[in-house]
Amino acid sequence: MLRFFIRRALLAVLTLFAISVSTFLLFFAVPANPVATMCGNRICPESTQKQITHDLGLDQPLITQYTEYMKGVFVGRTIGSGPTAKECPAPCLGYSFRTGQPVWDIIKNGLPVSMSIVIGAAVVWLTIGLVLGTAAALRRGGALDKFSVGFSLGGASMQIFVLGPILVAVFVYGLGWLPRPTYTSPLVNPLAWATGLILPWVTLGAINSALYTRLSRAQMLETLSEDYVRTARAKGLTRREVNYRHALRAAITPIVTIAGLDIGINLGGVVITETTFNLQGVGRYAVQAINDLNLPIVMATVLLAATFIVVANVVVDMLYATIDPRVKLS
């Protein structure tokens, strides 16, 4: 077991290394002229271009640039030299070209917003998905089952950026029941935090719950036809005990696994949700940076997301191996 964990972790580190190299190459080596790219359609004076080139270290070999960048991430570094040198403590991800703000500060600003959206939406989609899917499987062919099938098909075809504005139109501007979606720190005002984020949660949650309704319905149906469920029923357990203590428990494990592995797909959903509702999370910063060609922010957010996905995958793998006795490690 320990050997599996170590090997899995090493592989993850290797993957992360490969991702960091390819992301770096893509953003700093592929553009014909990264500096002009960063200047965008504005005309940069020669001196500014020289300054940016030097600040980025683009006048140095690629390997040096990469090792400098990675060094900055782990131990911090000094960007540039001479009077314009900036001290950048770890984790140093560079500076924004627009505002001169450290990228790490920008990410720190956005992270609570993004995390609030993901966690709240995940609660919504896992609850709806598991409850509706299980209930549908227990009464197969019934009205609820038909509804759940329709719901999962409709939800899977709905777009966040269509449903979101429609919900805002109805609940904020039409009925006036909710304030415009905003982020308030839960530490300052938990109620404002919840009411401000309820529409993003419902939007992202409802659309994602379509998939989980379908999955948990299929999983539950499969589990209910297992021999051990029949055995449990035959030995005289009540329906409730069989359904919830035997079947549901076994059916939930793979769904939680998939939820963990799907985190990458959901990150895309968060980006769209933040843009739809005008919330300043990491995803929205990333989109703005992409439109601005602010490469240090783009690079940092892609790296962050990739790290997040790889770590989540490792954790899920390890949890799965620990929880499910049927998983054979080889």
Residue placing its CB nearer to another protein in the complex, 40 or 254: 40
Residue 272 as a binder of another protein (CB under 8 A): the answer is: yes
Residue placing its CB nearer to another protein in the complex, 154 or 190: 154
Minimum CB separation of residue 22 from another protein in Å reads 9
Q: Which of 174, 231, 244, 323 binds another protein (CB under 8 A)?
A: 174
Minimum CB separation of residue 173 from another protein in Å reads 4
Q: Which of 123, 166, 323, 329 binds another protein (CB under 8 A)?
A: 166
Give the interface segment with another protein, choosing from 30-38, 52-60, 102-110, 227-235 (CB under 8 A): 30-38
3-state secondary structure the chain: CHHHHHHHHHHHHHHHHHHHHHHHHHHHCCCCCHHHHHHCCCCCCHHHHHHHHHHHCCCCCHHHHHHHHHHHHHHCEEECCHHHCEEECCCCCCECCCCCCEHHHHHHHHHHHHHHHHHHHHHHHHHHHHHHHHHHHHCCCCHHHHHHHHHHHHHHHCCHHHHHHHHHHHHHHHCCCCCCCCCCCCCCCHHHHHHHHHHHHHHHHHHHHHHHHHHHHHHHHHHHCCHHHHHHHHCCCCHHHHHHHHHHHHHHHHHHHHHHHCHHHHHHHHHHHHHHHCCCCHHHHHHHHHHHCCHHHHHHHHHHHHHHHHHHHHHHHHHHHHHCCCCCCC
Q: Which of 60, 78, 159, 225 binds another protein (CB under 8 A)?
A: 159
Minimum CB separation of residue 119 from another protein in Å reads 18
Measured CA to CA, the distance from residue 123 to residue 135 in angstroms comes to: 18
Q: Looking at residues 203 to 262 of the shown chain, list those that interact with another protein (rule: CB under 8 A).
A: none
Partners of 77 in the β-ladder: 88
Q: Which of 73, 131, 158, 258 binds another protein (CB under 8 A)?
A: 158
Minimum CB separation of residue 251 from another protein in Å reads 21
Residue 287 as a binder of another protein (CB under 8 A): the answer is: yes
Residue placing its CB nearer to another protein in the complex, 77 or 129: 129
Measured CA to CA, the distance from residue 239 to residue 133 in angstroms comes to: 18
Residue placing its CB nearer to another protein in the complex, 56 or 293: 293
Measured CA to CA, the distance from residue 146 to residue 144 in angstroms comes to: 5
Residue 175 as a binder of another protein (CB under 8 A): the answer is: no
Minimum CB separation of residue 87 from another protein in Å reads 28
Minimum CB separation of residue 54 from another protein in Å reads 18
Minimum CB separation of residue 156 from another protein in Å reads 6
Residue 168 as a binder of another protein (CB under 8 A): the answer is: yes
Tokens of 51: 């300054």
Q: Residues in the site for another protein, rule: CB under 8 A?
A: 15, 18-19, 26-27, 30-34, 36-37, 40-41, 153-154, 156-162, 164-166, 168-169, 173-174, 264-265, 267-268, 271-272, 275-276, 283, 286-287, 290-291, 293, 298, 301-302, 305-306, 308-310, 313
